[in-house]
Amino acid sequence: MSSLANEELQSRLGHMFHDVALLQLALTHPSITHELGTTMQTNQRLEFLGDAVLQLILTRELFEKFPIFGEGPLTKARAKLVNRQALAERAAQLELGRHLLMSRGEETSGGRERASALADGYEAVVGAIFLDGGYEVARTFILREFADGCGELSDLPNLENPKGELQELLQAVSPESPQYHVISATGPDHDRIFECTVQHAGVELARGSGKSKKLAESDAALAALKQLRASQTDKTQTEPPP
């Protein structure tokens, strides 16, 4: 990598390396060893480290940001942030592909745009930043990179199954399951809108609507989850320190 390209990439990363060799190593794709016939180091070890650093920092962020959710939804939320495609997209935004050192065969077969190469390179760069700058520098980089992703999750870590998440949350404090009741259905037969309530222990938690009973129940569960989360957050903020 030329010094100009090196500085350009570091500028996009927001971190100027004390040890530029770490960045070079993070960008060295394993295919290069086959082309050169050598046993030179590649980015695989840094990828292993970077994966662990990403998991730790994002786990802590989710743990602190969503105090009412348990292991299940937090694990799903983290997986959404760090799956291979998500990491490849972040690498592409940094134009990481054009800086990778790889074999000609890998390059001609589209290696610079391949999701696996980009995701692995991204994790390796995270590992390199961690070694070069330490935990806080790596944390600053990761939280800046994932600010948009965490923002997408700001309402709820997992939107796929709000009824299941609500039941899991409520059953942590009571054996009673939430109950759903359709209270109205309006509109013509081909375009009905259902409204439903969700109750727990005889108390209405929220209401929701949708074009089917199932969608209305999911909407009500989602509204209940948001209210419970807001209530828990307010409680945490107003509790006096121990």
Question: How do the pLDDT tens digits run along the chain, 242 residues long?
Answer: 556 567 889 999 999 999 999 999 999 999 988 766 667 889 999 999 999 999 999 999 988 887 767 777 788 888 888 999 999 999 999 999 999 998 888 888 888 999 999 999 999 999 999 999 999 999 999 999 988 766 655 544 455 688 888 888 888 888 899 999 999 999 888 888 999 999 999 999 999 998 889 889 988 998 898 888 777 655 555 555 55
Instruction: Render 23-63 in DSSP notation, one character per residue.
Output: HHHHTB-THHHHHHTS----THHHHHHHHHHHHHHHHHHHH
Whether residue 39 contacts residue 45, with contact meaning beta carbons closer than 8 Å, is answered with no
- The whole-number pLDDT of residue 162 equals 84
CATH no. for 162-238: 3.30.160.20
> What tokens appear for 56 in the block?
């730790």
So what's the architecture of 3-152 in CATH? Orthogonal Bundle (1.10)
Q: Which residues contact 31 (CB under 8 A, 6 or more apart)?
A: 102, 103, 105, 106, 111
Overall pTM surpassing 0.75 (yes/no) = no
The whole-angstrom separation of Cα 160 and Cα 153 is 12
Q: Where in the chain is the domain with CATH 3.30.160.20?
A: 162-238
- The whole-number pLDDT of residue 191 equals 83
- The whole-number pLDDT of residue 156 equals 45
Show which residues are catalytic.
51, 123
The whole-angstrom separation of Cα 133 and Cα 113 is 28
CA dihedral of residues 155, 157, 160, 164 (deg, nearest 10): -100
Residue type, 57: I
